[in-house]
Structure 1
């Protein structure tokens, strides 16, 4: 199933806008820990992936492409900016490749006890900080 057409004006065009859009997606769908979305192979769930709970990285991708699995240059930039702001077990990202940065962000989101509200608050705060910096 394809999502409804979205106006190009509705697409986020800045990193802070991507953070805000991802926060709205997580607030509506919920945070998922352990993978991009539950039942990634569609063995048990028939709901489209963009409507399922998702990880922070999946929400950032979905904010720019309407697909939690499809990256874009803007979502990759947002993932990198967010990864450099986060500490997991007291450390920043180990390497600078996009998969390492994604793993770092999802490591933060996968922490035991992490809630949807925590992830939404993180993205909203990151949006505010990046707006001021820009």
Structure 2
């Protein structure tokens, strides 16, 4: 069975929220044991960071870059806290990751932020 990939930023946020709901939020890296030294579970089934979930939602793999995932990351970064210091994709990813890595951050809060970003993005587009 082929899973349809999102084609819009709001759909990307919703798909990433579903991934995190199932897999859980991971803090500190994209996924646990990113170099596969101890785990043999495919990365797509592991807990993952918000950035990894956004990339996985679009491309099926957190290691694959795409313009849609980058646009979703940028949109989310600008919504979080005070926003990123710089506008390059690495700074945007770091800002989203920093928010997700905050002590006490839960999967539920990350999922809620993604759904809120999807709703807000749809309202802007309408």
Q: What TM-score results when the alignment is normalised by the length of structure 1? A: 0.91
The structure, 1 or 2, with the larger RCO (C-alpha pairs under 8 Å, 6+ apart) is 2
Match of 1:103 in 2: 94
Match of 1:29 in 2: 23
The total of aligned residue pairs comes to 125
Alpha-carbon RMSD across the aligned residues, in angstroms, is 0.9
Does structure 1 residue 130 correspond to structure 2 residue 121? yes
The 5 Å alignment of 1:1-134 reads: 5-6=2-3, 10-87=4-81, 91-134=82-125
Supply the distance in 2 between the matched residues of 1:27 and 1:71 (Cα, whole angstroms).
Answer: 22
Give the ranges of 4+ consecutive aligned residues of structure 1 lying more than 3 Å apart after TM superposition. Answer: none
1:92 offset after TM fit, Å?
1.7
Supply the distance in 1 between the matched residues of 2:78 and 2:100 (Cα, whole angstroms).
Answer: 14
Supply the distance in 2 between the matched residues of 1:36 and 1:69 (Cα, whole angstroms).
Answer: 9
Supply the distance in 2 between the matched residues of 1:74 and 1:50 (Cα, whole angstroms).
Answer: 18
1:100 offset after TM fit, Å?
0.4
Supply the distance in 1 between the matched residues of 2:14 and 2:66 (Cα, whole angstroms).
Answer: 16
